[in-house]
Amino acid sequence: MTPNSDLEALRRDGLGEVATIGAGHAATALSQLTDRRIMISVPHVRRVSYAQVPEMVCAFGDHIAVVGMRMLGDLTGRALLAFGENDAARLCDLILRRPPGPPRILGELEQSGLKEVGNILCSAYLTALSNFMGMMLLPSVPALIIGPTREAIAATVDPDEAETDLVFCVDTAFTAEGSDAPLTGTFLLMPDKASVRAILEAIRLD
Distance CA 92, CA 76 (A): 29
State how many domains the chain has: 1
Distance CA 111, CA 109 (A): 5
Which of the two residues, 200 and 169, has the higher pLDDT score? 169
Least confident segment among 69-73, 100-104, 123-127, 144-148: 100-104
- Given CA atoms 157, 160, 161, 166 in this order, what sign does their dihedral have? positive
pLDDT in tens, 129-174: 888 888 888 889 999 999 998 888 888 876 665 556 678 888 888 8
Residue 94, domain CATH? 3.40.1550.10
Which of the two residues, 205 and 203, has the higher pLDDT score? 203
* Enclosing domain of residue 171: 4-205
Average of per-residue pLDDT across 90-110: 83
| DSSP one-letter code for 158 | -
